[in-house]
Amino acid sequence: MNLEKVIFGFFVIFACTMNFGFFIGALSEVSEHDAGHLFAAVVVNLIALVLKFGDRTHIGATHLATSIVALLQLLAASVVWMWHVNISQLAMNGGTMATIVSLSGGALLANLISVILLIGETLRQTR
């Protein structure tokens, strides 16, 4: 068993599940989406991004691209949240939460593509 591949696979799948955990729930229901969960999804996606550097294959480039997309979507969601609550000093409302959750949904799609690539790459391996 290759420990490097285990760690890589762990963080790719963990990034997807963390993002799914934040995304799930009513789109505009503020109480169903926690800022801490979004922050954790950003951190895990950042770790997954760093682990994807260095692979010079075409599949590695695609892995990296999906990670960049997911991280940018999650960072955009975080900026919207911070801007609305901390800069504008407004209470979170359903419309803003819907925007944040929609952005995390885009990141979730990128994470799912990354997991599918990981599974495809795993199935292609021969012993």
pLDDT digits (tens, 9 = 90+) for 6-55: 999 999 999 999 999 999 999 899 999 999 999 999 999 999 999 998 78
Under the banding of pLDDT at 50, 70 and 90, the label for residue 79 is: very high
| 67: CB partners within 8 A, 6+ apart | 15, 45, 48, 49, 52, 110, 114
pLDDT digits (tens, 9 = 90+) for 88-97: 999 999 999 9
Q: What is the pLDDT of residue 35?
A: 94
Q: What is the pLDDT of residue 127?
A: 57
Percent of the chain exceeding pLDDT 90 equals 83
The closest of 13, 77, 17, 19 to 51, measured between CA atoms, is: 13
Residue 123 has pLDDT above 60, yes or no: yes
Q: What is the pLDDT of residue 2?
A: 87
DSSP state letter for 3: H
Alpha-carbon distance of 89 to 44, in angstroms, equals: 28
- The mean of the pLDDT values for the chain is 94
